[in-house]
Amino acid sequence: MGRKILFVTTDQQRYDALGCNGGTIARTPVVDALAAQGIRYERAYNQNTVCMPARSTMLTGQYVRTHGVVANGVPLPADAPSVAAYLASAAGYRTALLGKAHFEPGFDMELRWPENSMAEEGRTGPYRGFDHAELAVHVPNAGRRALQHYGRWLVDTHGMEATAGFSPLLSAEPGGETGAPETRLNPIPREWYHTDWVADRTIAYLDSLPDDADWFVWMSFPDPHHPWDPPASELHRCDWRDLDLPPGHPGSPEAIERVLAGKPAHWRALWEGTWVNAEGGPASYRPQAVGPDNIREINAMTHVMNELIDEALGRVLRCVERRGWGDDTDVLFTTDHGELQGDFGLLFKGPFHVDALMRLPLVWRPAPSAGVAPAVVAEPVGQLDLAPTFCRIAGVPVPDWMQGAALPTAPGSGRERVLCEWDSQFPGYGMHMRSIYRDGWLCTAYEPSTAGRPNGLEKYFASTGLFGGGIGPRSRVVYEGTEGELYDVNADPHQFVNRWDDPACRSLRDDLVADLYAHLPEERTVLEVERPA
């Protein structure tokens, strides 16, 4: 019999969001306690910096180029391998997913994919190896349509008017007290907000299980991903007026320009407004229109969201204890990717391979019955190591289709590197980046741009007329394949100084690039992009 597994994910949460990782504002005592009792990973990295590819890697245990979800808008094939399905078939686990999934496009008003149609059809599974699934996204509705199970519950239980306080997703609509993009003073009662809803549904599922069940439960919070609109009743926790700009903010427009001038062209072009980050945030977002107080308010909202997540997790852990499972339950806590959150004067995510987006909070508290000593692991690990870890906990072999290895439980594993990739979702952008973290250095090689080469999304643009049809928006930045980024993350923790063209680092750079390509899987699955998100 294997141990029980509670897998907890957030969305778009930074490494430094947690007190155990050096965060000094949001109070996260529940996760901090798990870290003190278990293993805290100091260099956990994702294999892609946006939602769908990262989440597909967590489910499959595969590199992005293997499962094929190389960008948002690429649906994970229905027959893709699933660690949940494997645990169910190989070890008899009961499985559930509560909260955000995002293995299929959310831009799906015709309800083509089950992730979006299940709630409308009154179904809660099975779904991708999960016996039970109740799903949520960041907003409860799109116009008059309720979205997924959370939106359906909110509208059916409390009426459409309960959705009015949420900021529209991907619109950059100004709000809050400072006019910050995608920020709202949301009057929704805390107990109606999706963070508490996810915890409530997780508790209800756990309480439906017999005492002797082995279970794998993925509890997936939509926060602290934008829009930044937690319940207004909770904003007293962090007043934006009391915050400094984040440490990764250069401090002034002039300093921002100096830092960005040393990076590949799209960084500074985004700041200047000549390049649009359509693949990582609202297309209408313009960084120079977001002032210091806007960034402070967004950060305050984020800290509130992080505290609510921590408290919701605490409620679920109390349920686990009440059921008598506390000594036999492993808890893993992580996220899919980070958030710029004011670093470099920028917001959101996208083709920016720096620690703000790549470095993840990752805590594993093994079941007390396992007898694993607390530890801090500095060696690099990745999201593709999560699925093999679940197999180890369950006591089943790691299947051949998983490409990671179970997480180490102590220092000294000998792990050397972790890899991350980027491929554009818009055919008019065509950006391709490959990154390696090794020996305290973060290196990103830019491959030649393929702007204008069809990738499938142009079919959707042609059928809908979105972006005027054709291939959609075009990038004003085109890379030749000689560009890159190289950072000493210990000496330069915010990655302000790009050493790619530094002659003193040339040998190191070449070695890291060769190591990167030597360890990327050669075979590549090519799937079409079918939706914008």
Residues 190-220: pLDDT tens digits? 999 999 999 999 999 999 999 999 999 999 9
Structure tokens at 151: 């939106």
pLDDT of 333-350, one tens digit each? 999 999 999 999 999 999
pLDDT at 467: 84
Tell me the C-alpha distance between 23 and 393, whole Å.
29
CATH classification at residue 326 = 3.40.720.10
pLDDT at 470: 86
Structure tokens at 241: 């007026």
Tell me the C-alpha distance between 485 and 359, whole Å.
16
CB–CB of 333/31 below 8 Å? yes
Phi/psi of residue 361, nearest 5 degrees: -70, 130
pLDDT at 423: 98
CB–CB of 471/428 below 8 Å? yes
Find the mean pLDDT for residues 97-108.
97
Q: Report the 10 Å Cβ neighbour count for 156.
A: 10
Q: Is the pLDDT of residue 187 over 70?
A: yes
Domain assignment present for residue 472? The answer is no
**pLDDT interval class at 115 (50, 70, 90):** very high
Domain count within the chain: 1
Pairing mode of beta strands 141-142, 145-146: antiparallel
Pairing mode of beta strands 432-438, 417-423: antiparallel
Domain assignment present for residue 427? The answer is no
Domain assignment present for residue 138? The answer is yes
Domain assignment present for residue 426? The answer is no
Q: Is the pLDDT of residue 2 over 90?
A: no
Domain assignment present for residue 491? The answer is no
Question: Percent of the chain at pLDDT above 70?
Answer: 100
Q: Report the 10 Å Cβ neighbour count for 219.
A: 27
Tell me the C-alpha distance between 186 and 358, whole Å.
30
pLDDT of 435-482, one tens digit each? 999 999 999 999 999 999 999 999 999 999 988 888 989 999 999 999
CA distances (Å), 49 to each of 189, 275, 308, 355, 433, in order?
A: 32, 19, 24, 10, 11
Structure letter (DSSP) for residue 174: E
Task: Please state, rounded to an integer, the average pLDDT across all residues of the chain.
Answer: 97
Find the mean pLDDT for residues 273-284.
95
Tell me the C-alpha distance between 461 and 469, whole Å.
5
pLDDT of 149-160, one tens digit each? 999 999 999 999
Residue 224 pairs in a beta bridge with 11
pLDDT at 327: 97
Domain assignment present for residue 63? The answer is yes
Find the mean pLDDT for residues 150-172.
95
Tell me the C-alpha distance between 194 and 136, whole Å.
7
Q: Give me the helices (H) in 22-62, please.
A: 29-37, 51-60
Is the omega angle on the peptide bond into residue 227 within 30 degrees of 0, that is, cis?
Answer: yes
Residue whose tokens read 């805290």:
40
CA distances (Å), 18 to each of 43, 93, 134, 363, in order?
A: 14, 31, 27, 10
pLDDT at 100: 98
pLDDT of 77-91, one tens digit each? 999 999 999 999 999
**pLDDT interval class at 295 (50, 70, 90):** very high
Pairing mode of beta strands 44-45, 359-360: antiparallel
DSSP notation for 72-89: TT-PPPTTS--HHHHHHH
Count of alpha carbons within 13 Å of 353, Cβ hemisphere only? Answer: 29
Contacts of 414 (CB under 8 A, 6+ apart): 379
Tell me the C-alpha distance between 87 and 7, whole Å.
13
Q: Which of 165, 166, 175 is nearest to 298 (CA)?
A: 175
Q: Is the pLDDT of residue 1 over 70?
A: no
pLDDT at 308: 99
Query: Domain residues for 407?
Result: 4-415
Residue-wise burial string across 418-434, b where 16 or more C-beta atoms lie within 10 A, e elsewhere: bbbbbbbbbbbbbbbbb
pLDDT at 518: 98
CB–CB of 285/277 below 8 Å? yes
Give the SS3 label for residue 447: strand
For the chain, how many residues are written? 533
Find the mean pLDDT for residues 307-319.
99
Give the SS3 label for residue 247: coil
Q: Is the pLDDT of residue 176 over 70?
A: yes
293: enclosing H helix or E strand: helix 292-322
Q: Which of 116, 141, 136 is nearest to 223 (CA)?
A: 136
| Composition of the chain by helix, strand, coil, percent to 5 | 35, 15, 50
Domain assignment present for residue 204? The answer is yes
Q: Which of 384, 330, 385, 369 is nearest to 217 (CA)?
A: 330
Q: Report the 10 Å Cβ neighbour count for 232.
A: 17
Tell me the C-alpha distance between 453 and 429, whole Å.
9
Domain assignment present for residue 16? The answer is yes
Contacts of 303 (CB under 8 A, 6+ apart): 25, 26, 237, 238
Tell me the C-alpha distance between 515 and 54, whole Å.
22
Q: Which of 362, 387, 499 is nearest to 60 (CA)?
A: 387
